[in-house]
């Protein structure tokens, strides 16, 4: 072996010995994509079905619905068209059909994707199967009804695009259902399907504990009660007036509860209230993945909203990824909502309340300001018509009130519902669509939980 070769080997070994292994990069956090329910469902179905032969046909069944859907056939065709577009090499049939009829309609297509559609408990559910098309007479005799080669299932909550094919919701006809609760010093409430059983759970955060339960027989029945001390450590510099937020089972974190308090940290927990990880700040109600932080000098929230999973070790610089910039610099209440229009387009609506009672709203290029608003705030599309509703309370002068106001695309604010609440509203949230396919407002009013639907 030559001297030069030996020298190169020694250098290589030395460099290898001194090289430090690079730490594995953490898995990327899920990315919130702003898309309508139909677009999201179609993408999930197409991904699960996988590649289909060129020339495949997609045929959807008629929609089975627990709520009147006078334009159900049009909805079925739109979903079939969306799925075909996501598959890329398929085309949609212009009419809905059962599987038996669809086999005949598929003719000489390369394969058949049949999609069974159902609307139940505020969800659109799609079950899709990929079938081979038997056009050869001999093969048809041997196996006239071949089984599926691929299967997919997806479900999404109803939005304005889906609801446009159904009977309208009359928000002015909403009723208030009242139930007793036993919590004191309530700071926040959230609503969603934590255990993925198709029913909604309520999550109440008080100063002392967190409760997960359901409304049964006129009272809140707790399923799980855990003190804050078991969930998160005490904040080193809490605000004088504590603020808490709760987000229940958001799309990017199904089956989880994101919650935080300015007296405690901010964490993600499972349905049994076992802590899974820390968050970058208090979660923004209504947002898919946005957290904000409170400043002790301002005694309120301040700064931009960032991804809740944007937690970095102390040795690393935090990423400057923004979810949104709040409409006001300092605020003690915040809410956001991805508003879906009837055409499937999506726009973010954000609201922040300044400590002086001034509410700032922003949607795309539009903005609005409302004076004299209380510290409770929620945003949603309660009648699923593509126009957001702003849920607020009184600023403290006189008796409290639960007020629901719509904000149309022209920038006009108009009242929809006002419910007197003499005992005072301690917390509000918007529940996803469930019964009769309609969202609801849930509020803690004195010793009661109100469900407005």
Residue 322 is encoded by which pair of tokens?
């923004």
> What's the pLDDT at 71?
98
Read off the DSSP letter of residue 138: H
Query: Is the pLDDT reported for residue 19 higher than 70?
Result: no
> What's the pLDDT at 107?
84
> What's the pLDDT at 143?
54
pLDDT in tens, 364-415: 889 999 999 999 999 999 999 999 999 999 987 779 999 999 999 888 999 9
Buried b (16+ CB within 10 A) or exposed e, 30-40: eebeebbbbbb
The pLDDT confidence band at residue 177, using thresholds 50, 70 and 90, is very high
Read off the DSSP letter of residue 447: T
> What's the pLDDT at 144?
62
Distance between CA atoms of residues 317 and 326, nearest Å: 23
> What's the pLDDT at 299?
86
Distance between CA atoms of residues 286 and 188, nearest Å: 13
Distance between CA atoms of residues 117 and 376, nearest Å: 38
Lowest-pLDDT range of 91-105, 291-305, 306-320: 306-320
Residue 421 is encoded by which pair of tokens?
């609440």
Q: State percent of the chain over pLDDT 90.
A: 75
Distance between CA atoms of residues 55 and 192, nearest Å: 41
Distance between CA atoms of residues 107 and 133, nearest Å: 8
pLDDT in tens, 92-110: 999 999 999 999 999 889 8
Query: Is the pLDDT reported for residue 317 higher than 60?
Result: no
What domains can you pick out in the chain, each with its CATH number? Answer: 37-163 (3.40.50), 171-452 (2.120.10)
Q: Is 141 exposed, middle or buried (0-12, 13-18, 19+ CB in 10 A)?
A: exposed
Mean pLDDT of the region 9-13: 32
Segment of 28-37, 191-200, 305-314 carrying the highest mean pLDDT: 191-200
pLDDT in tens, 140-175: 545 567 889 999 999 999 999 999 999 999 998 999
pLDDT in tens, 41-71: 999 999 999 999 999 999 999 999 999 999 9
């Amino acid at each position: 072996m030559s001297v030069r070769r030996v020298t190169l080997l020694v250098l290589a070994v030395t460099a290898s010995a001194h090289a430090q292994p690079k730490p594995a990069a953490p898995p990327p956090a899920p990315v919130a994509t702003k898309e309508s329910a139909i677009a999201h469902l179609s993408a999930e179905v197409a991904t699960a079905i996988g590649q289909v032969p060129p020339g495949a046909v997609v045929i959807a069944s008629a929609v089975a619905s627990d709520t009147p859907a006078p334009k159900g056939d049009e909805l079925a065709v739109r979903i079939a068209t969306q799925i075909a577009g996501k598959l890329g090499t398929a085309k949609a049939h212009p009419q809905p059909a059962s599987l038996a009829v669809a086999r005949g309609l598929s003719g000489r297509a390369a394969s058949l994707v049949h999609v069974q559609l159902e609307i139940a408990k505020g969800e659109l559910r799609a079950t899709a199967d990929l079938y081979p098309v038997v056009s050869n007479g001999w093969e048809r005799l041997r196996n006239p009804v071949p089984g599926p080669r691929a299967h997919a299932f997806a479900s999404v909550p109803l939005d304005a695009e889906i609801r446009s094919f159904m009977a309208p919701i009359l928000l002015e006809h909403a009723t208030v259902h009242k139930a007793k609760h036993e919590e004191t010093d309530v700071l926040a409430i959230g609503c969603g399907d934590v255990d993925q059983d198709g029913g909604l759970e309520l999550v109440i955060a008080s100063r002392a504990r967190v409760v997960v339960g359901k409304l049964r027989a006129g009272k809140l029945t707790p399923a799980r009660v855990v003190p804050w001390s078991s969930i998160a450590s005490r904040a080193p510099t809490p605000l004088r007036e504590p603020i808490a937020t709760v987000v229940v089972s958001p799309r990017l974190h199904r089956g989880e509860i994101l919650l935080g308090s300015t007296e405690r940290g901010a964490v993600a927990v499972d349905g049994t209230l076992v802590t899974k990880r820390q968050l970058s700040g208090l979660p923004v109600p209504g947002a898919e993945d946005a957290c904000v932080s409170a400043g002790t000098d301002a005694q309120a929230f301040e700064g931009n909203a960032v991804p809740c999973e944007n937690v970095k070790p102390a040795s690393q610089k935090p990423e400057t990824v923004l979810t949104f910039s709040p409409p006001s610099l300092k605020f003690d209440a915040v809410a956001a909502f991805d508003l879906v229009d009837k055409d499937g387009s999506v726009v973010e609506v954000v609201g922040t309340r300044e400590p002086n009672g001034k509410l700032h709203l922003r949607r795309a290029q539009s903005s609005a300001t409302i004076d004299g608003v209380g510290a409770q705030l929620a945003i949603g599309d309660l009648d699923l018509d593509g126009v957001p509703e702003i849920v607020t309370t009184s600023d403290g002068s006189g008796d409290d009130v639960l007020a629901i106001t719509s904000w149309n695309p022209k920038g006009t604010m108009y009242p929809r519902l006002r419910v007197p609440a003499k005992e005072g509203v301690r917390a509000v949230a918007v529940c996803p669509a469930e019964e009769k396919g309609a969202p609801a407002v849930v509020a803690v009013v004195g010793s009661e939980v109100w469900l407005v639907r």
